A and B are shown apart, each in its own frame.
Chain A
């Protein structure tokens, strides 16, 4: 339970949160522009979110 480990874990979560948040935001804008492409955009958003989450978890476990 050292302080550097806790700070590192917090940074990892911040990074993953910012990444997924940006993707969600762009997906919302794209859906607002073209509602008929909602399915494709949603699929792509989920894929990108899972990839970012994968890196986030890997770093978290390493820490």
Chain B
């Protein structure tokens, strides 16, 4: 084994390096009033939130990142760049746009008060530390929106390139070589067994979109770019809402009959089953939403807590242990990324199948 090019040596080096570096955090702990654990909790919460500018990292006063436009609807349209807030998150910098003043506090934008209170902030807080100012409707391009658009464009380019490959011959090459087995897997293992031979073609485009989108977004969430799209409950809510809408609008009369007047059971049971089935119609997409959101968020929180553990154990043994744990957990997260995409797609196909089921399928 030569030292220059062996991959074994590189992996060994990656595990030895944390032994000789450990976190230098003493100076930060001395100056702040909050202790280390609260600070780490606040940092994790801050990392999981959406933000109005794309902030990669900062080193003292130097911030690396770029601002994103803020679009508000407050009776009129207000558009300005988020750099006007000058990285302020405590409601102290006031931005004036078309005659109305706005401040940003904890990532949300409010209308500013006339005078500042004793801390210099223009936001009034109630007893639970929640601001009570008026919030305008916020349509800005935040970090999540920007990431969704960027990932969708990347995915679109890849898929169009793969589709163009089929013009030359039926044998795929290039990007199509990656997509074809997965698309056939989605069609043969997910769509056809659940929806049936007659109707599966209508839903294939939605199933493929959902599968690739969730998988790619979860994978990007594991990179250090700070992408957390499925981390936000609004995105998973939108996905579950689309599944719900498509299920209801493509449902045949057989589906509604099964909900309100289940065939094959005695009449008192039918009346009892109707409200339960109606609740089930809403709970099934809700479970989809919660499952995806909780799995991905929990994974990210545990990963960041493990890295924060390095700062709590300020010793030479703390770093490599936390690093090893974080690496193994990241490998598990890779599996979870693909598994959650598969489960979401499969349950969606199941709901579509029950919506378009014919009468003589299972009786």
Contacts and interface: CB of A to CB of B under 8 A. Distances in A.
Q: Is A bound to B?
A: yes
Interface of A: 43, 46-47, 50-51, 53-55, 57-58, 60-61
The SS class assigned to the A binding surface is helix
Contact of B290 (A43, A46, A50, A61): A61
B267 interface: no
A61 B346 CA distance: 24
Contacts of A53: 291, 295
A61 B48 CA distance: 15
Instruction: Determine the interface band of chain B, counting residues with CB < 8 A from chain A.
Output: 10 to 19
Contact of A58 (B287, B339, B346): B287
A46 B342 CA distance: 10
A4 to B, nearest CB: 21
A50 to B, nearest CB: 4
A47 B343 contact: yes
A47 B295 CA distance: 14
A58 B294 contact: yes
Given A54-B287, A58-B287, A47 B346 contact: yes
A12 to B, nearest CB: 12
B40 to A, nearest CB: 15
Interface centre among A43, A57, A60 (most CB of B within 10 A): A57
20 contacts: A47-B343, A47-B346, A50-B340, A50-B343, A51-B291, A53-B295, A54-B290, A54-B294, A54-B295, A54-B343, A55-B287, A57-B290, A57-B291, A57-B295, A57-B298, A58-B287, A58-B290, A58-B291, A58-B294, A61-B290
Given A54-B295, A60-B298, A61-B290, 15 more contacts: A46-B339, A46-B342, A47-B343, A47-B346, A50-B340, A50-B343, A51-B343, A53-B291, A54-B291, A54-B294, A54-B343, A57-B294, A58-B287, A58-B294, A61-B294
Interface centre among A47, A50, A51, A61 (most CB of B within 10 A): A50
Interface string B283-296: 00001001100110
Interface in B202-255: none
A50 B338 CA distance: 12
Contacts of A61: 290, 294
B340 to A, nearest CB: 7
Contacts of B339: 46, 50
A18 to B, nearest CB: 19
Nearest to A50: B343
A27 to B, nearest CB: 15
B222 to A, nearest CB: 18
A23 to B, nearest CB: 14
Nearest to B340: A50
A43 B190 CA distance: 11
Interface centre among A43, A51, A54, A61 (most CB of B within 10 A): A54
Contacts of A50: 291, 339-340, 343
B15 to A, nearest CB: 30
B296 to A, nearest CB: 10
What 8 A-B pairs have minimum CB-CB distances, sorted nearest first? A54-B291, A57-B294, A50-B343, A58-B290, A61-B294, A58-B294, A50-B339, A57-B298
B243 to A, nearest CB: 15
A46 B339 CA distance: 8
Contacts of A55: 287
